[in-house]
Amino acid sequence: MSAPELRAPGQAGSGAQLPPAAGHGVRAVLAGLFPAPAEPAPRTGLACWAFLLVQVAAVALGALVMLARIGGRPAWDSVYAEDPGIYLPAALAHPWYLLQSYGGYLQLVPRLIGQIAALLPIRYASVPFAVGGALVASACGLFAYHASAGHVSSRWLRALLGLSVVLLPVAQLEIADNGVNSIWYLLVALFWAALWRPRSGAGAAVAAVAAFAAAASSSLALLFAPLFAARAIVVPRRFREHAATAGWALGCLLQVLVILTSHLSRFRPHDPVNAVLYYAHEVLLPALGWHLSWHLRDIAGLTGATALAGGFIVVVLASVLATQARQCRVFVVTAVATGLVFTAISSAFAWGGPGQRVTIRVEHGARYSTVPILLLDAALIVTADAYARRWWPRPRAVAAVAALIAVLAAGWATDFRYPVRRLAGPASAWERTADAWLRHCQHRPAGTITVTFPDWWGTAQLATTFSCSKMRR
């Protein structure tokens, strides 16, 4: 193991980036968002293949962890929401027609997972949804590890950042181990793709693919336009430096074309106070732990618990703005502001409001907290790295890193595995649905099956019809 790998958190290796150039203009400030990471050590032959093998193993291990986090019925025996109601029937009815709109926009990656599920015997169709969602989450965590190199000098803290994606406390409530909600992990990866300056062609290609997949899977990717515009201003105009921008732009082009041809408006009047309530109660409060937030509710009530959890986060981040270097301050402001924008948009267009049911096993709309919570985690990790980089091995730097690890680990440990209501009912047991479809087609081999699903943005049921001959047995 090399010396840089053994260095303490925050200590720069021999190839670490230099601080951004001093200045007071907008360009100088924005430059702090796009630092150049250390030049990679050259890899050839066996070392290159070993590195690739480690990446594959890391993604596989992360996916196993994601699958293990669901309590009760195994994730691979269950289905959720649009996976069996929209994506699987559509893949059976129109194979490889991946550019269909749903809800007024394009979801390329969930539809691709649905198409893979349609290629398997129907009894096993639930497996690709669970495994595909777990692999996407794990891959996005690994991507965050690599793409954060310019902002987090310590490999250990970057590993903590990658773990924050895989161990997100609220993941089981809606987004873990399914295809439909894999888009939220992709949006987190898109944030890091917008900031990353890869130093190899392979890194640039991965960034471009990640950015394209995110933009072609969620209309919320359009919100990253300011970050990519800033990147165009600051980063040198070389293709490798803007591969992520090209991927994002191509994905957005597809997304806009689908939006314009879908003829469905998601604009509805919502109380703007919803955004404040959602960010306070569903982002700040559970950011450091879902079950911890419920213990705080029992002690101090909803308002008091929100004040305690949110106050802690606000105090920590405010101290960063007062004490740390400009690069750290700019990142913290950008991460928090991006989370706030996501909250405002999602609460305006999709969240049902504070009247929706929330229990320890149910939180409708938990998916909208994914990006804001993970960006808060990123801000805290970048903060700890900044403290360590400036003061290591002074006691206050050690204390900052230890406190961060303790706070995050407490939430991750208590929320690692727990059952949720979305997978508790008979409707989520895929075996029942598969058996019903097989019985129907056994008696009517030339018949068809029609699957209905609620139209959340209209007045009628959505119906998809496919023939029994399309279903593999």
Contacts of 432 (CB under 8 A, 6+ apart): 426
Query: H or E element: which one contains 463?
Result: strand 462-467
User: From CA 56, how far away is CA 47, in angstroms rounded?
Assistant: 14
Answer whether 34's CB lies under 8 Å from 231's CB.
yes
Burial (0-12, 13-18, 19+ Cβ within 10 Å), 277: middle
Burial (0-12, 13-18, 19+ Cβ within 10 Å), 211: buried
User: From CA 210, how far away is CA 220, in angstroms rounded?
Assistant: 15
Buried b (16+ CB within 10 A) or exposed e, 22-33: eeeeeeebbbbb
Residue 131 is encoded by which pair of tokens?
């495994």
pLDDT by residue for the chain (473 residues), tens only, comes to 333 333 444 444 433 443 444 556 788 888 889 998 766 666 677 878 888 899 999 999 999 999 999 988 899 999 998 999 999 999 999 999 999 999 889 999 999 999 999 999 999 999 999 999 999 999 999 999 999 999 999 999 999 999 999 999 999 999 999 999 999 999 999 999 999 999 888 899 999 999 999 999 999 999 999 999 999 999 888 888 899 999 999 999 999 999 999 877 666 666 777 888 899 999 999 999 999 999 999 999 999 999 999 999 999 899 888 888 888 999 999 999 999 999 988 877 776 677 778 889 988 889 999 999 999 999 999 999 988 887 777 787 788 889 899 999 999 999 999 988 888 777 778 999 999 999 999 989 889 999 999 887 776 789 999 999 998 98
Residue 227 is encoded by which pair of tokens?
């970050």
User: From CA 259, how far away is CA 262, in angstroms rounded?
Assistant: 5
Alpha carbon 174 to chain centroid, angstroms? 12
Assign 364 to helix, strand or coil. coil
Alpha helix ranges (H) inside 216-358: 225-234, 243-262, 273-278, 290-323, 326-349
User: Residue 328, CB half-sphere, CA atoms under 13 Å: how many?
Assistant: 24
User: From CA 195, how far away is CA 353, in angstroms rounded?
Assistant: 32
Contacts of 26 (CB under 8 A, 6+ apart): none
